[in-house]
Structure 1
Amino acid sequence: MTTSRRSFLAGAGLASGLGAMPLSALGASVGTAAAEPDFGPKIGEALLSRNENPYGPAPSALRAISDTAKMGCYYADRGLMRLTAMIAERHNVSPEQVVVGAGSTEILCAISLAWGHDGAILCPDLFWDTTVLYGERQGVTSIRVPLTADMSVDLPAIASKAADGVALVQICNPNNPTGMLIPAEALRSFAAQVTPQATLLVDEAYNELTDRPEDNSMIDLVRTGADLIVCRTFSKIYGMAGLRVGYAITSEANADRIRSHLMSFGGNLAGLAAAIASYDDTPFLDQSRAAVLEGRAMINDAVAKAGLTALPSQTNFVFVAVPDADALREAMAARGIAIRGAYGPWKGFSRVSTGKLEDVARYTAALPELVQRLWA
């Protein structure tokens, strides 16, 4: 950690014309000292298990929520249209190619159903598969392909299975929970291979946290007419996980198909207002990203000091190689630090998110000691 960056993050205003507000004030708990809060971490808890960004929502978003709350008695369709137009303009597509939903989760679930009724979903065996599991509960079939030995997504193996009977190929890039980024050229080549047989869905929830977000995105392939869907979210760099706003960019025909399977109507007024206000809030986004990157560097330094290794992350979390992920989760929990346990059979990896820097510091202080105690 550098003192200059820490001081900058702690004291800088993220106001975008709304007056200064310290970063440290932005993730404040809703509750009081007398009772556990209804939202966010428990009192005294370092919440590092859920890939949230506690430095959001932006001050511009908070102001918009306050200013529009009194309009909550009305449906939010005009706000939905405005955000759709803003997203379309930034990415040089038509508004008809943009689908906004209650977080990218709703959109991904809709895609799972819409395409899953026509054929199987082809995907890695370890990725953020909650929405595929949702489809499976509704009768959708999935075909899962193992990762490579270094935990990368095995694009050649997936491409070899993209044949008749596969309706959708789903990739998360960067991947969750590994945090690893598929190189852009490799993914573009993969898209050229699979899209003649099936629609390619790329979940780019963490794109804005990668080293070169624009280069790493596949949105340009949508503009060239490829049968591809790109999903994004306001939950990560924008710090709006609880406000539930996400979107997809694809062809007009695919967009119509997705909309036909959405389960919400008209949008969430508070979430839409916050998204509209902060979508172009560059000062907040720059400092939000800086906080995430500092937290990630802190985790990687602690991992090395503890004699462990971690996969290369381009996200707001790190996948750390450990002897027993569940044992480490329980030991951290005893100290009020929440991290993830094992992902199914992948018991040798522990995922930790970049929360508030002071909470990350609690993890980094505890890690070497707990590693020594558990596995020395």
Structure 2
Amino acid sequence: MQTNRRTFLAGAGIGTGIGAGLAGSAASATIIPGPVAPDFGPMPGQALLSRNENPYGPAPSAIRAIRRSASFGCYYADRGLRHLQDMIAARHNVRSEQVVVGSGSTEILCAIALAWGREGAILCPDLFWDTTVVYGERQGVKSIRVPLAADMNVDLAAMQAALTDEVSLIQICNPNNPTGVLIPAADLRAFSKAIKNTATLLVDEAYNELTDNPADNTMINLVREGADVIVCRTFSKIYGMAGMRVGYAITSEENADRIRGYLMSFGGNVSGVAAAMASYDDTEFLDRSRAMVIEGREMIMAAVKEAGLTALPSQTNFVYVEVPDADAVQTAMRERGILIRGAYGPWTRYSRVSTGKLEDVARYAEALPQVIESMRT
């Protein structure tokens, strides 16, 4: 749904509650014209396939909760935050004190980078969603980066070989971003046992719910077993709440307390927490979202084949496509109103495209063979 300020206020029922209290005042009689373009999301005519968002969310259950919670925005969200922590803890059979909720998983990952970075280096792959590690580096944290394996998966053996007493944290994104490749659960569990008591293992599972078997692919069972593991999740992806900023970590009580000491926000976002609580168990919406993602992935893979290209196997809502020149493909797509990612550092021959709305994916699928053909001639 695209909207502007005027239509949003009208749809939110501004004539009731606080809005009704302002009726008759000069302020309420003034109509402020909305901007030509929407304040959020893609510009008109753009196919936004660069951000790994779920444009089919938030769930209807979440939107209803957002509307109900808006008038409570004057209050801090601490009571709702505890309720959400309890819900997450109950699902995963851990104590509520083992759950940390933050402003998106980004805030939590940044807090971990600072907290553990004070004690030693962060060991990580050289290609993954490293924004939070970079944040730590800017605050003086050291990182040790390990090349990917030949198949573009995280090289666990090489990471284990690079582990020294200097390392305090090992950070992995599974499935990985931007590659979309999933580390087999058995391999990651074996890796965790091999590094036991050496460093804390942080697994960013932002895309876990989009994998073929989320329950088998998670490392939360290691937390329950008492391993020194932190698992991060988010409501930004399958839940379609990227702009609502709600994420969480599950770990030991000791680690959870340590993380909370480095959080930068206070008490959570009332509407975001309300939406998270309302949609957390909304299986109908989650199943529909997953089906849309899978359909979009299949459309992208079909276009990749038609263009004579290859792509890495994806367990996420994006695909990493091998192309002649990622930046050139990005530019050519932008000229057609299609936004995708360019090269990630030296990986200039890989182009990441998100699933997005199916009609937008269809535009990419139609354009890709044309763009590649023009680059070959």
- Fold shared by both chains (TM-score > 0.5): yes
Q: Does 1:326 align with 2:350?
A: no
Q: CA deviation at 1:188?
A: 0.3
For the structure 1 residues 288 and 123, does the alpha-carbon distance in structure 2 shift closer, same or farther, using more than 3 Å as the test? Answer: same
Residue identity in the other structure for 1:266: G
Cα distance in 2, alignment partners of residues 311 and 360 from structure 1? 18
Q: Which residue of 2 aligns with 1:182?
A: 183
Following the alignment from structure 1 to structure 2, what is the Cα–Cα distance between the partners of residues 143 and 193?
A: 19
| 2:2 match | 28
Percent same amino acid among aligned pairs? Answer: 72
Stretches of 4+ aligned residues off by more than 3 angstroms: 27-34
Q: Could you give the per-residue CA deviations for residues 192-228 of structure 1, whole angstroms, max 9, x where no partner exists?
A: 1123200000000000000000000000000000000
Aligned length: 350
Name the CA distance, whole Å, in 1 between partners of 2:166 and 2:235: 33
Work out the CA distance in 2 between the residues paired with 1:36 and 1:340: 22
Question: Which runs of structure 2 are paired with 1:172-251 in the superposition (5 Å)?
Answer: 172-251=173-252
Pair 34,130 (structure 1): closer, same or farther in 2 beyond 3 Å: closer
**Structure 2: which amino acid aligns with 1:65?**
I
The amino acid that maps onto 1:360 is V
How has the CA–CA distance of structure 1 residues 30 and 214 changed in structure 2, closer, same or farther, with 3 Å as cutoff?
Answer: farther
Q: 1: distance between equivalents of 2:139 and 2:93?
A: 35
How far residue 360 of structure 1 moved from its aligned partner, in angstroms, is: 0.3
Name the aligned partner's letter for residue 315 of structure 1: T
Deviations 1:302-359 (A, max 9, x none): 0001000000000000000001000000000000000000000000000000000000
Describe the shift of the 1:170–1:45 C-alpha distance in structure 2 as closer, same or farther (beyond 3 A): same
Provide the residue aligned with 2:299 in structure 1: 298
Deviation string for 1:112-164 (max 9, x for gaps)? 00000000000000000000000000000000000011111100000112220
User: 1:282 aligns to what?
Assistant: 283
Q: 1:26-105 counterparts in 2 under 5 A?
A: 27-30=1-4, 35-105=36-106
1:92 Cα offset (Å): 0.1
1:80–1:266 Cα contact (<8 Å) kept: yes
Shift, 1:29, TM fit: 4.4
Are residue 164 (structure 1) and residue 165 (structure 2) matched?
yes
Q: Which runs of 5+ in 2 are unaligned?
A: 8-33
SS of residue paired to 2:352: strand
Q: Aligned partners of 2:320 and 2:280: how far apart in 1?
A: 29
**Cα offsets for 1:261-317 (capped at 9, x unmatched):** 000000001100000000000100000110011001000000001000000000000
CA apart distance, 1:30: 4.2
Counterpart-to-counterpart distance in 2, 1:35 and 1:322: 36
Structure 1 position 28, deviation (Å): 3.3
Instruction: Give 2:196's aligned amino acid.
Output: T
SS at match of 2:298: helix
- Counterpart of 1:363 in structure 2 is 364
**Separation of aligned partners in 2, 1:202 and 1:186:** 13
Q: What is the alpha-carbon distance in structure 2 between the residues aligned to residue 48 and residue 231 of structure 1?
A: 24
Q: Which amino acid aligns with 1:28?
A: Q
Structural RMSD (CA): 1.1
* CA distance in 2 between partners of 1:257 and 1:215 (Å): 28
1:72–1:34 Cα change, 3 Å: closer
Question: Which residue does 1:15 correspond to in 2?
Answer: none
Return the offset for 1:34. 7.0
Who is 1:252 aligned against? 253
| Contact 1:195-1:228 at 8 Å conserved across structures | no
Distance in 2 between residues matched to 1:128 and 1:34, nearest whole Å: 33
Query: Would you say the 8 A contact 2:4–2:35 is kept in 1?
Result: no
Equivalent position SS for 1:231 = strand
Whether the aligned pair in 2 keeps the contact of 1:232 and 1:247 (CA below 8 Å) is: yes
Find the aligned partners of 1:308 and 1:203 in 2 and give their Cα distance.
29
Q: Which residue of 1 aligns with 2:265?
A: 264
Aligned equivalents of 1:322, 1:203: Cα separation in 2? 27
* Larger-Rg structure: 2
